[in-house]
Amino acid sequence: MITGSLVALITPMTLDGNIDKQKLDELVEYHIAAGTHGIVAVGTTGESATLTYDEHANVIRQVVEKVNGRVPVIAGTGANSTHEAIDLTQRAKEAGADACLLVVPYYNRPTQEGMFQHFKAIAEAVDIPQILYNVPGRTVADMSNETALRLASISNIVGIKDATGDLERGKQLIESSPEGFAVYSGDDPTAVGLMLLGGKGNISVTANVAPTQVAKAAELAIAGDAEQAHKVDSGISALHSALFVEPNPIPVKWAAAQLGFCELSIRLPLTELSSQYHDAVNEALIASGIKDN
C-alpha cells in the first residue's frame, strides 16, 4: 500500500511555455532527497488540463524514469471521457507507473451510476492499481461514499483521494472501507486530521514547497502521534491557506518560482499570481521557515 506524503507535483515550464525537462528532473531529485514518500505526476497541480495528450504521457514517463523505483509514482490519468481515461491509464501502465489517479468526470456531471460504470470500465480495461479522486469543488459532480465503497470491491481499485475537506464524511468512509482500500487526503488543511482517523496519506499541494515538513507530519499522523503531527503541521499552516488564494496551481507555481524550483510560467487560461497576493504567499513562505525574506 502506498502511504505518506505524496506530492501533487507541479509541471515546470520554460518562459516560452514548453515543459522544462531539466527542472522536472531536478524536482524529482529534490523531493526524494527531502523525504517525500511518493510522487503524483500530472494531476490537477501538474496542469493536466492544459497539457497535450502526448505531453501528459511524456511527463509521466520522464518522472517514472527519473524516480527509477526509489518511491512510488502515481500518474494522473483521469478524464471526463471514459475512452480517453482508459487510453491515458494504459499509457501510464506502459510507462511503468505504480498506480493511477482518476478524477470524477468533470463538466458532464455523471450520475452516481455513471461514475460507477466509468471507473469500473477503466479498472477492467487496464490492470494497474487505481485510486479514485473526488474533488467536487472542481468537478461539480460529487462521488458519494456509497459509490466509492461499491467501487472498492473491484480488486485493482485500491483507494480514493478525498478532497472534500469533510472529516466526518472521511471518517465514515474509512470505517466502512474494506481491508486494503486506502483513503488519502486531498486537502492540506485537514490532512493531518484525516490521517489521524486512519487515512493512509496526503496527496499534497503544500509538499511542493515544504516537502520535509509535510512528510514528517504524515509520518507522525499515520503513526497516531496527534500532538507532534499537529505541531509540525501548525508550522506550515499559513501555507495551506496562502497556496489557495487563487485557483491551484497558480499560487504554488509562483511560490516555487520564488524558491528557484521553476520559471514563473503557467499556461492559459491560468495566469500568474495576482500582485495583490504576492505578499501573502511570500509571508507564508517566511513564516513556515522556507524562505528568509
Q: Copy the grid coordinates of residue 223.
A: 503513526
Catalytic residue at 200? no
Q: Which one of 23, 66, 93, 161 is the catalytic residue?
A: 161
Q: Which one of 23, 93, 133, 216 is the catalytic residue?
A: 133
14 is in an annotated binding site: no
Q: Which helix (H) or strand (E) holds 5?
A: strand 4-8
Catalytic residue at 161? yes
A 10 A CB-CB count for 166 gives 15
A 10 A CB-CB count for 53 gives 12
45 is in an annotated binding site: yes
Q: Determine contact, residues 99/131, Cβ cutoff 8 Å.
A: yes
Residues 6+ apart with CB under 8 A from 77: 42, 60, 85, 88, 89, 91, 92, 100, 101, 102
Tell me the three-class secondary structure of 83-122, residue by residue: HHHHHHHHHHHHHCCCEEEEECCCCCCCCHHHHHHHHHHH
**Residues assigned a catalytic role:** 133, 161
Binding residue ranges for pyruvate: 45, 203
Annotated binding-site members: 45, 203
